[in-house]
Structures are given as C-alpha cells and as structure tokens.
Amino acid sequence: MPSRLLHFRLNGDDVEIAAPDHWTLLEVVRYRAGLTGSKQGCDKGDCGACTLHVDGRAVLSCLTLAADVEGRAVTTIEGLVGPGGPDVVQDCFDAAGALQCGFCQPGMMMAARQLVTENPDATRDDIKAALASNLCRCTGYTKIYEAVENACRRARGEADAPATAERAAS
C-alpha cells in the first residue's frame, strides 16, 4: 500500500508519522500516534465522536484525510489538558455529571471548546446548534448543556451556577 511521511503539529509537538495514503486523521492519531482519546463511532461522519481541532477549528477526523493536515496544528482531547490540569470544558463536563459512558464526550468537548472560545455568551439554542452534529446516546444532552453553560460562565469570569458549584467542590 502506498504510504507517506506526514509532518504536522500534534498537541504542541512537531511529529513525523508514516501512514498509508488513504488513512484518515482519526486512524493516524489513534493507531499511529496512540492518542486514543478521539473515538470512532461510525467512521463516516454521522456521530461526531472523532471531533478534534485542526488549527483551532472542530473537524470530523474520520472524514479528514491525514494527508490534508500536513503542516497544520492538530489538537486532540489529550491536548486540552495543560500544565494547570484539565481544561475548563473538561472540568465543567465532569462537574456537571455530563459524562455517562463517555464515548461521545471527547468529540463533544472538542466541539464545545470551540463554542466557548468563540462565543462565551452562547445561549442554550446556540449550544444546541453548535453540538447538533455530535450524537450522545446516554445523557439526553441535558447535563451537557449545563456543562457548556457553566464553561461559558467561567469563560466570562463569572462564578459557577449553584448546583455545579456544589458538585465542583466535592
């Protein structure tokens, strides 16, 4: 099978990875780079579990040819964790009880991360629209909305909503 050497920035590091030409970005991050946080739920663009960031924008990595990210910056769910610990979005999802089986959640959080960055004043309708291509089978989305609303609140420099505050303290 024809292969190529890919060069891109992965969670802040410059990497060089050999992979077959036809591999998707999802396959390369999961099975070559070993970053298995990005999930494969359908491999055809339906579920959003594979959502990660390319140059700061959420994309479906199962529909992105790995060759297309040559020279670009890729961030996965693992890359959201910084020296100060988990990202605010990760912390808010955990605190809100938004994570049930969790399989949709890395993708969900990457989509939410972009929203919180771009529109910290997001309304519930904005949140629904931003997450509409990320399917969750467990939660009914309710606690995901609460998590994103709280992340927005923190992004605006405000305190947590009362229920979340109680959970965050635990």
Partner 1 sequence: MERKSINRTHGPDAPHGEFHRVGKRARKVDSMAVATGQAVYTDDIALPGMLHGKILRSPHAHARIRSIDTSRAEALPGVHAVVVGTEMPERYGVIPWTPDETALAVDKVRFIGDEVAAVAAVDEDTANAALRLIDVDYEVLHAYLDPHESLEKHDPAIHEDNKKGNVSKHVLLEFGEVDAALEASEVVVEDDYVFHGTAHAPIEPHCAVARWSGDGVLTLWSSTQIPHYVHRLLAKVLEVPAHRVRIVQPYLGGAFGGKSDPFGHEFCAALLARKAGRPVKLLLTREETFYTHRGRHPMEMRFRSGCDADGKITAVDSRILIDGGSYSSFGLVTTYYSGQLLCGPSHFPTYRFDSTRVFTNKPPCGPKRGHGSVQPRFALEIQLDRMATQLGIDPIDFRRRNWQGENVTTVNGQTVTSNGFLQCLDAVERASGWKDKRGKLPPYRGIGIAGSMYISGTNYCVYPNDMPQAGILVKLDRSGLATVFTGTSDIGQGCTSVMATLVAEELGLRLDQVRVVAADSDLCPVDLGAYSSRITLMAGNAAVDAGRKLRKQVQDAVGEKLGIPAGQVMLADGYAFDREDGDRRLTTQEAFQLAEAKFETLSASGSYNTPERGGDYRGGTIGASPAYSFTAHVAEVEVDPETGEIHVPKLWIAHDCGRAISPVQVEGQIEGSTYMGVAEVALEHHEVYGDVGAEAGLHKRPSLLEYTIPTTLDTPELEALIVESIDPEGPYGAKEAGEGPLHGSLPAVANALYDACGIWMTKLPFTPGRVLAALREKRTAEAGVS
Contact residues toward ligand FES (CB under 6 A) are 40-43, 45-50, 60, 62, 99-105, 136-139
Could you tell which of partner 1, ligand FES, none binds residue 50, using a CB distance below 5 to 8 A set by kind? ligand FES
Identity of the residue, 129 or 159, whose beta carbon is nearer to ligand FES in the bound complex: 129
Query: CA Rg, the chain, in Å?
Result: 16
Instruction: State the nearest-atom distance from the C-beta of 168 to partner 1, in Å.
Output: 8
Residue 5's DSSP bridge partners are 18
Long-range contacts of 122-126 (CB under 8 A, 24+ apart): 122/148, 122/149, 122/152, 124/149
Identity of the residue, 18 or 101, whose beta carbon is nearer to partner 1 in the bound complex: 101
Helices (H), 28-122: 88-96, 105-118
x-or-dash pattern for partner 1, window 31-70, by CB under 8 A? x--xxxxxxxxxxxxxx-x---------------------
Question: Contacts with partner 1 in 131-160 (CB under 8 A)?
Answer: 131-143
Kindly state the number of chain residues that form the binding site for partner 1, as judged by CB under 8 A.
59
Instruction: Write out the two tokens for 55.
Output: 């140059």
Torsion, Cα 24 106 154 163, to 10 degrees, reads 160
4 binds partner 1 (CB under 8 A): no
Q: Which stretch binds partner 1 (CB under 8 A): 53-61, 64-72, 88-96, 114-122?
A: 88-96
* Candidate list 91, 119, 120, 161; residue touching partner 1; CB under 8 A: 91
116 binds partner 1 (CB under 8 A): no
> Which residue is it, tokens 């960031």?
53
What percentage of the chain's residues is helix, strand, coil (to nearest 5)?
40, 20, 40
Integer angstrom CA distances of residue 142 from 17, 96, 97, 124, 145:
39, 10, 10, 10, 5
Could you tell which of partner 1, ligand FES, none binds residue 62, using a CB distance below 5 to 8 A set by kind? ligand FES
Could you tell which of partner 1, ligand FES, none binds residue 23, using a CB distance below 5 to 8 A set by kind? none
